[in-house]
């Protein structure tokens, strides 16, 4: 409310109507979910297939007594204790499997009209934003595909294997680069991501870097949903130099994803339609 009085946000209570999907409730996703819960978000959809391990205690959020519980279950319990007004839906699934992807898409959509099950009407997303907090390429590609299909804006986030850098990126289908428009270096160089993760060798992890990335993610989610400030296209974080590079990442006309190319055409048509130009005058 003070944010409203001070003229930062014109209608903070709108947050009670907002729904955010958090894919991956690990080091970044759990903290982002807690921040949204403390901000009074209306509804949170949580996705993860993993359980809490004692080895995860170098991160924030989970406690030793959560060990063995599904992350979605442990997160729901804690978040409900913090703010019982948030409606939390948990989805204990792997979004990259065929059935997981179907369940993921279904959960993001308004329920279909029972009389119109085979309808060709495009499905409508019921969420305001999807936050990707997963830690692998396959899962990010899956979130990208779902969001392109539903024409859903989402944010991607990541923390490097050495724990000292991270980033967030906004992806509006058709307007910005999708996750396949500009493949990450690992993919562009044809390296199999799985060979990077050596057996028995843990990726480094710092609660500081993960907390910062979660904060940048939620800060921009709030700006996007409540319409204040400028929403970042891309913010990087280099912990060794305290450097935060920003940039805009445009869509690639030759993206290999056909839905991305279609969304780009729709976006262009919308931008230059005579009606739009007339309205802007
Ligand atoms: P580590 O791999 O070091 O144990 P982690 O698996 O907890 O860490 P984080 O970066 O902290 O990794 O969080 C990423 C989260 O995303 C994890 O909880 C993981 O289970 C989840 N995740 C990754 N891929 C998928 C997927 N395909 N479907 C659902 N959740 C996923
Ligand atoms: Zn693309």
> Using CA atoms, how far apart are residues 220 and 234, in angstroms rounded to an integer?
10
Residue 195 binned pLDDT confidence (cut-offs 50, 70, 90):
low
Query: Does 95 contact ligand 1 (Cβ within 6 A)?
Result: yes
Angle made by CA atoms 246, 247, 248, in degrees to the nearest 5: 145
Give 127 Cα–ligand 1 centroid separation in angstroms: 22
Name the band, by pLDDT with cuts 50, 70 and 90, for residue 262: very high
Q: Name the nearest CA neighbour of 25 among 103, 100, 77, 84.
A: 77
Q: State how far the Cα of 63 lies from the Cα of 67, in Å rounded to an integer.
A: 7
Q: Is 264 helix (H, G, I), strand (E, B) or coil?
A: helix
Residue 276 clears pLDDT 70, i.e. is over it: no
More confident: 70 or 198: 70
Q: Do the strands 234-238 and 43-48 form a parallel or antiparallel pair, or are they unpaired?
A: unpaired
State yes or no: pLDDT of 255 exceeds 80: yes
Instruction: Please report, for residues 211, 257, 276, the alpha-carbon distance to residue 34 in angstroms, rounded to integers and kept in the order given.
Output: 11, 34, 40
Question: Ligand 1 pocket test: which of 62, 95, 135 has the largest number of ligand atoms within 8 Å of its C-beta?
Answer: 135
What are the residue numbers of the active site?
202
Please check the confidence at residue 274 and state whether its pLDDT lies above 60.
Answer: no
Q: What is the pLDDT of residues 45-92, one digit of tens each?
A: 999 999 999 988 988 999 999 999 999 999 999 999 999 999 999 999
Give the pairing type, strands 165-171 and 129-132. Answer: unpaired
Q: Over the stretch 89-133, which tens digit does the pLDDT of each residue have?
A: 999 999 999 999 999 999 999 887 666 656 667 788 999 999 999
Residue 101 beta carbon below 6 angstroms from any ligand 1 atom: no
Predicted ipTM? 0.96
Q: What is the pLDDT of residues 6-19, one digit of tens each?
A: 888 889 999 999 99
Q: Which of 57, 50, 21 is nearest to 36 (CA)?
A: 21
CA atoms of 266 and 262, how far apart (whole Å): 6
Collapsing DSSP to helix, strand or coil, 32 comes out as helix
The closest alpha carbon to 264, from 180, 182, 177, belongs to 177
Question: Could you tell me if the CB of 26 is within 6 A of ligand 1?
Answer: yes
Report the C-alpha gap between 186 and 168 in whole angstroms. Answer: 18
Closest C-alpha to ligand 1, atom 28: 94
pLDDT band at 202 (very low <50, low <70, confident <90, very high): low
Atom of ligand 1 nearest to the CA of 142: 27
Whole-number Å distance, alpha carbon 252 to ligand 2 midpoint, is 6
Q: What is the mean pLDDT of the chain?
A: 90
Please determine, for residue 196, whether its predicted confidence score (pLDDT) is greater than 80: no
Q: 135 CB under 6 A from ligand 1?
A: yes
Supply the pLDDT for residue 204.
85
């Amino acid at each position: 409310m003070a944010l409203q009085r001070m003229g930062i946000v014109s209608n903070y209570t709108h947050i009670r109507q907002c729904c955010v999907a958090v894919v991956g409730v690990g080091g970044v996703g759990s903290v982002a979910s807690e921040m949204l819960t403390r901000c009074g978000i209306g509804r949170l959809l949580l996705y993860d297939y993993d359980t809490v391990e004692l080895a995860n205690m170098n991160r924030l959020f989970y406690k030793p007594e959560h060990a063995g519980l599904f992350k979605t279950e442990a997160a729901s319990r804690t978040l409900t204790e913090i703010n019982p007004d948030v409606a939390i839906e948990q989805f204990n699934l792997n979004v990259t499997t065929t059935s997981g992807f179907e369940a993921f898409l279904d959960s993001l959509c308004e329920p279909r009209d029972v009389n119109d099950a085979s309808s060709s009407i495009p499905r409508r997303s019921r969420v305001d934003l999807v936050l990707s907090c997963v830690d692998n390429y396959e899962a990010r590609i899956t979130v990208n595909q779902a969001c392109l299909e539903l024409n859903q804006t989402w944010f991607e986030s990541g923390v490097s294997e050495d724990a000292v850098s991270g980033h967030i990126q906004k992806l509006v289908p058709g307007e910005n680069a999708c996750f396949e428009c500009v493949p990450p270096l690992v993919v562009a160089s044809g390296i199999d991501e799985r060979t990077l993760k050596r057996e028995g060798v843990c990726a480094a992890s710092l609660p500081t870097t993960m907390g910062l990335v979660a904060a940048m993610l939620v800060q921009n989610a709030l700006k996007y949903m409540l319409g204040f400030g400028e929403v970042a296209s891309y913010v990087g974080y280099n912990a060794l130099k305290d450097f935060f590079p920003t940039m805009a990442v445009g869509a690639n006309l030759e993206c290999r994803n056909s839905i991305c190319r279609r969304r780009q055409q729709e976006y262009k048509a919308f931008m230059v339609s005579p009606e739009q130009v007339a309205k802007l005058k």
